[in-house]
Structures are given as C-alpha cells and as structure tokens.
Amino acid sequence: MKIQIRQSVFETNSSSVHAITICTKEEYDKFVKKELLYNYYDNKLEDINELKDVDYDELKKKYPEWDSLSLNVKMGLLHTFLIDDEEYLTYPEYLDKTNNYERFVTFHDITDEKGYTIPAVAFGYSGWS
C-alpha cells in the first residue's frame, strides 16, 4: 500500500465528520470575543473586514458609516448582507452549529522557522454525519 502525504490536507474514508483549525492563541481569543469569524466551509478564522465573499465597495455604499461602526454592529450587518450567512460564524454560532459533534480545544506552543515560540490553539469537532 502506497502512502501519500500532502501538506495541509486531512482526509478520511469514513462517513464521519472531522474539522480542525490551527491558529495563534491571539487569533483564538479574538474569535471568542467575536472579533474574528469562523469560516465554516474553509475551517479557518477570518477578519470581518477581509471576507472574500463580500463586495466591500457595495457594502460601504449601502452603509457609508461602515468604517466607524463597532464590530458587533458590523457582524449584524454582515449577516443580513451575506447570501449564505451560515458560512461565517461567530463563536456562539460555531458552538451552536457544532453542538451535535464532539468538540475539542487544545493549547500548545509551536516553533516557527526562525525558532520563535508562538502560543497556538488547535480546535475543531468530529462525529458522524
């Protein structure tokens, strides 16, 4: 049996569901405080001001005060603006959507290519689909 290892890929042959996200502890803390959104389809955290599915020019036309709005107000407006509002989740929405799965959060220090230690977090969920 040939084993092939591909970077940044996690595969399984079962009917189970697996999702893992690895980020810095700083990013995870921002997610918990609702300053970052969880991209449900890509399993990664994203800044509310840099979402790839949002046409920010159109958004700023519709809401000229966008840059001065609080994060909570921006979150609410994005949920009404995005076509598929289940793609981007706040921390409470993530917990609700993954409630039927076994969730995990682990804290580790990782070392980057320059030898610096970075506090990191791995979180995700698993279960049967």
* Number of independent structural domains in the chain: 1
Q: Are 75 and 48 in contact (CB under 8 A)?
A: yes
Q: Is the pTM of this model over 0.75?
A: no
Residue 5 lies in a domain: no
Residue 6 lies in a domain: no
DSSP assignment letter at 35: S
Q: What is the pLDDT of residues 27-53, one digit of tens each?
A: 999 999 988 989 888 888 988 777 766
Mean pLDDT of the chain: 81
Residue 26 lies in a domain: yes
Domain limits for position 36: 16-128
Residue 72 lies in a domain: yes
Residue 11 lies in a domain: no
